[in-house]
């Protein structure tokens, strides 16, 4: 169809881009035009995220949007910029890190839009600025799966692919992920300006975050403390709640460096992440982390460590170590309360109930001893709770030590008391997902996509958007992992 001046092509009309971050100035971000990729093709798209961004209808089938989402053509009024940050990697100060392969196009309706893998930026160091199909699909699905689980996360609009080769451990092909969040600012941005910038630049960045994302931290004259200590306290609270949600759902991030920690308490930068299959508290999902610094059960402590790095970076603004420590101090109580609430919800229990802690400790020990499948256990318990029938062996059959689990089930029913177990079961089914993005589920979508079949990916996305629903047609996505899943290796290289 041809469009005249009086009838502009709706897919090409200018969107209401805003650029508050790039308006902060050249100290914070610089121009970084994407580098085109040959013969792009669509891999995945999220309608939910398109709605958030108010994209014009038909974008999914538009050649113009395909080129724009690959970085081959610019969307009118967007401004390609890369921001600068530093960080601690694996506990060691690593200096300037990024952003080496995410290009910010601007903000639409309050959502920043980035292209990840669209080529080198001035901060790419030795990297090629590219992302591969495998890791882009994993990040796309993880963003939307996490949102489906109601856990704070960056979002993902789409993935496009190209046959352009990209060398990782093996030869792979290129892809570009378009992702979105109210802000992609990281702890590492503050570390960068604290150790390498001027006092003024650090303050400019902190004021920007407070005014836009933490307005409640703008203390009134006469209030105790200061706005920067209040910011640290607010980020401490958001991060403690986030990691509590990860622990409850069995999510391992895999690379919790300070540059992967969101200032908004969002799950950010999905690389070698994994949702637990069998419950193993010491599980290490990142092939590049042999020491297990980022093992599942280390995550709360590591998030706390990262918050101390943020506190250190903000110290010149906070002005007093005592105030900074006060702001960090609620981490433990916030984490414990949020974790306790999340686990009580999974059990269908009241978080105030005094018997909850021993009940939970006993259960986690039983699950760990036999590496019982974590999502399947909770889903089966949710169904079992409806009648607690002695001939319902669905939970019992997950264990070799059946005496142990039978005793626990007895203690569980007794601790929770009579009540309405039908309603309790319903509540539990709304807290214990049937579908999580296990490695083998992502792998199935990746393998099919490599062969040009994107239907599996679409189905996985649809199911993970509503993971508490039954979706009988997709039952196999909720299965135990197949034997080959143990061979899947994910590392920092993506
Ligand atoms: P990550 O370990 O993925 O969080 O990456 C750490 C930093 O390295 C980030 O700033 C990335 O932007 C950058 N980076 C990772 N991979 C590449 C790449 N292929 N090319 C350029 N920069 C990269
Ligand atoms: Mg990163």
Q: How confident is the model at residue 4 (pLDDT cuts 50, 70, 90)?
A: low
Could you identify the atom of ligand 1 that is nearest to the CA of residue 131? Answer: 19
Would you list the domain boundaries of the chain?
A: 22-181, 187-341, 354-429, 439-487
Q: How confident is the model at residue 2 (pLDDT cuts 50, 70, 90)?
A: low
Looking at the CA of 271, name the nearest ligand. Answer: 1
Q: What pLDDT does residue 157 have?
A: 98
Q: How confident is the model at residue 14 (pLDDT cuts 50, 70, 90)?
A: confident
The residue whose C-alpha atom lies closest to atom 9 belonging to ligand 1 is 98
Q: What pLDDT does residue 402 have?
A: 94
Q: What is the Å distance from ligand 1's center to 98 Cα?
A: 7
pLDDT tens digits along 372-417: 999 999 999 999 999 999 899 999 999 999 999 999 999 999 999 9
| CB-based contact 186:268 (threshold 8 Å) | yes
Q: What is the Å distance from ligand 2's center to 108 Cα?
A: 23
Average pLDDT, the chain: 95
Q: Which of 83, 88, 124 to mutate to test the pocket of ligand 1 (most atoms within 8 A of CB)?
A: 124
Q: What pLDDT does residue 89 have?
A: 97
Looking at the CA of 269, name the nearest ligand. Answer: 2
Q: What pLDDT does residue 383 have?
A: 98
Q: What is the Å distance from ligand 1's center to 97 Cα?
A: 7
pLDDT tens digits along 427-465: 999 999 999 999 999 999 999 999 999 999 999 999 999
User: Could you tell me the two tokens for 265?
Assistant: 């308490």
**What's the mean pLDDT in 36-41?**
98
Could you identify the atom of ligand 1 that is nearest to the CA of residue 492? Answer: 2
Q: What pLDDT does residue 231 have?
A: 98
Q: What pLDDT does residue 487 have?
A: 80
The residue whose C-alpha atom lies closest to atom 11 belonging to ligand 1 is 100
Which residues lie across from 180 on neighbouring strands?
113, 155
Could you identify the atom of ligand 1 that is nearest to the CA of residue 85? Answer: 10
Q: What pLDDT does residue 178 have?
A: 98
User: If you count them, how many residues does the chain have?
Assistant: 494
The answer on pLDDT for 212 being more than 60 is yes
pLDDT tens digits along 96-130: 998 999 999 999 999 999 999 999 999 999 999 99
Q: What pLDDT does residue 485 have?
A: 86
pTM for the whole thing? 0.97
CA dist., res. 255 & res. 273, Å (int): 8
Q: Which of 85, 92, 95, 97 to mutate to test the pocket of ligand 1 (most atoms within 8 A of CB)?
A: 97
Q: What pLDDT does residue 279 have?
A: 98
Q: What is the Å distance from ligand 2's center to 419 Cα?
A: 47
Could you identify the atom of ligand 1 that is nearest to the CA of residue 260? Answer: 4
Burial environment of residue 76 by CB neighbours within 10 A (0 to 12, 13 to 18, 19 or more): exposed
Could you identify the atom of ligand 1 that is nearest to the CA of residue 269? Answer: 4
Q: What pLDDT does residue 6 have?
A: 64
Catalytic residue among 259, 277, 289, 373: 259
The answer on pLDDT for 10 being more than 90 is no
The answer on pLDDT for 59 being more than 80 is yes
pLDDT tens digits along 287-343: 999 999 999 999 999 999 999 999 999 999 999 999 999 999 999 999 999 999 999
Instruction: Give residue ranges with CB within 6 A of ligand 1.
Output: 97-102, 124, 127-130, 255, 259-260, 269, 271, 492
**What's the mean pLDDT in 72-95?**
97
The answer on pLDDT for 364 being more than 70 is yes
Whether 259 is catalytic is yes
* Range with lowest mean pLDDT among 105-114, 212-221, 253-262: 212-221
pLDDT tens digits along 163-196: 999 999 999 999 999 999 999 999 999 999 999 9
Q: What percent of the chain has pLDDT over 90?
A: 91
The answer on pLDDT for 3 being more than 60 is no
Q: Which of 29, 120, 123, 127 to mutate to test the pocket of ligand 1 (most atoms within 8 A of CB)?
A: 127
Q: What pLDDT does residue 493 have?
A: 65
The answer on pLDDT for 225 being more than 90 is no
């Amino acid at each position: 169809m041809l469009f005249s001046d009086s009838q502009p092509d709706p897919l090409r009309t200018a969107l209401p881009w805003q650029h508050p971050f790039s308006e902060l100035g050249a100290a914070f971000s610089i121009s970084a035009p994407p580098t085109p990729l040959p013969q792009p093709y669509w891999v995945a798209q999220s309608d939910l995220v398109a709605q958030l961004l108010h994209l014009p209808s038909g974008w999914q089938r538009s050649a113009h949007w395909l080129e724009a989402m690959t970085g081959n053509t610019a969307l009118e009024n967007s401004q390609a910029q890369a921001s600068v940050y530093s960080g601690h990697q694996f506990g060691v100060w690593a200096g300037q890190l990024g952003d080496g392969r995410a290009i910010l196009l601007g903000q639409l309706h309050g959502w920043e839009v980035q292209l990840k893998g669209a080529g080198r930026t001035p901060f790419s160091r030795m990297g090629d600025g590219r992302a591969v199909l495998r890791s882009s699909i994993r990040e796309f699905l993880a963003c939307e799966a996490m949102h489906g689980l109601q856990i704070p996360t960056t979002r993902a609009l789409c993935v496009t692919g190209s046959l352009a080769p990209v060398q990782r451990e093996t030869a792979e092909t290129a892809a570009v992920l378009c992702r979105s969040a109210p802000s992609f600012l990281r702890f590492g941005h503050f570390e960068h300006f604290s150790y390498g910038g001027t006092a003024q630049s650090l303050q400019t960045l902190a004021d920007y975050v407070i005014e836009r994302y933490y307005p409640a931290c703008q203390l009134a004259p006469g209030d105790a403390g200061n706005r920067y200590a209040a910011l640290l306290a607010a980020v401490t609270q958001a991060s403690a709640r986030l990691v509590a949600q990860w622990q409850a759902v069995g999510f391992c991030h895999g690379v919790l460096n300070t540059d992967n920690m969101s200032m908004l308490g969002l799950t950010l930068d999905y690389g070698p992440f994994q949702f637990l299959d069998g419950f193993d508290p010491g599980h290490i999902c990142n092939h590049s982390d042999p020491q297990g610094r980022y093992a599942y059960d280390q995550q709360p402590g590591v998030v706390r460590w990262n918050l101390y790095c943020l506190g250190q970076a903000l110290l010149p603004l906070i002005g007093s170590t005592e105030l900074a420590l006060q702001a960090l101090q609620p981490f433990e109580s916030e984490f414990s309360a949020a974790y306790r609430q999340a686990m009580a919800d999974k059990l269908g229990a009241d978080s105030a109930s005094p018997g909850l802690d021993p009940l939970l400790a006993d259960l986690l020990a039983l699950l760990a001893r036999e590496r019982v499948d974590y999502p399947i256990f909770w889903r089966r318990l949710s169904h079992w709770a409806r009648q607690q029938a002695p001939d319902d062996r669905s939970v019992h059959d997950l264990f070799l030590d059946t005496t142990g689990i039978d005793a626990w089930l007895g203690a569980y029913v007794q601790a929770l008391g009579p009540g309405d177990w039908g309603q309790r079961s319903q509540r539990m089914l709304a807290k214990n997902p049937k579908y999580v993005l296990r490695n083998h589920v992502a792998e199935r979508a990746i393998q099919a996509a490599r062969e040009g079949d994107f239907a599996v990916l679409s189905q996985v996305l649809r199911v993970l958007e509503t993971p508490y629903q039954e979706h009988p047609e997709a039952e196999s996505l909720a299965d135990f992992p197949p034997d080959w899943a143990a061979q899947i290796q994910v590392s920092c290289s993506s």
